[in-house]
Copies of this chain bind each other. A is one copy, B any other.
Amino acid sequence: MADFIPLSVPNFGPREAELAGQAITSGWVSTSGARVAEFEQAIAAYLGMPRAVAANSGSSALHLAAMAAGIRPGDEVLVPTLTFIAAVNPLTRYVGAEPVFIGCDDTLCIDPDAVEDFCANRCTLRGGRLYNNRTGAHVAALEAVHVFGAMADIPRLSDIARRYGLVFIEDATEALGTRYTAGPLAGRCAGTMGDLGCYSFNGNKIVTTGAGGMLVSNHDDWAGHAKHLSTQAKADELQFVHDEVGYNYRMTNVQASLGLAQLARLEEFIAVKKARYDRYRAALDGVRGLRILPFDEENTRPNYWFFSLYLKNSGLDRDTVIRALQAQDIQTRPVWALVHEQADYPKNEAYALDKARDYRANIVNLPCSTNLSEADCDRVIRAVLAL
Contact = CB atoms under 8 A, between A and B. Distances in A.
Interface of A: 9-12, 16-17, 20-21, 24-25, 27, 29-32, 56-60, 84-86, 89, 93-94, 96, 202-204, 208-211, 232, 235-236, 238-248, 250, 252-255, 258, 322, 333-337, 342-344
A59 B63 CA distance: 15
B17 A86 contact: no
A62 B244 CA distance: 18
Contact of A211 (B94, B236, B250, B337): B250
Contacts of A204: 30
B344 A242 contact: yes
B344 A30 contact: no
What number of copies of this chain does the assembly contain?
2
Most chain B beta carbons < 10 A, residue from A25, A235, A248, A335: A248
Contacts of A210: 29-31, 252-255
25 contacts: A12-B29, A16-B24, A17-B25, A20-B20, A20-B21, A20-B24, A24-B258, A29-B208, A31-B202, A60-B248, A86-B232, A89-B246, A93-B245, A203-B252, A210-B254, A210-B255, A211-B248, A238-B322, A238-B333, A240-B335, A241-B343, A242-B337, A242-B342, A244-B344, A254-B258
B245 A59 contact: no
A10 B30 contact: yes
Contacts of A240: 84-85, 334-337
Contacts of A96: 96
B211 A252 contact: yes
Contacts of A248: 57-60, 86, 202, 211
Given A56-B56, A85-B240, A248-B58, A202 B24 contact: no
Given A56-B56, A210-B254, 15 more contacts: A17-B24, A20-B21, A21-B21, A29-B209, A30-B203, A30-B208, A30-B211, A59-B248, A86-B248, A238-B322, A241-B342, A242-B337, A244-B344, A254-B254, A254-B258
A205 to B, nearest CB: 9
Contacts of A250: 211
B17 A21 contact: yes
Nearest to A212: B252
Contacts of A343: 235, 241-244
B10 A239 contact: no
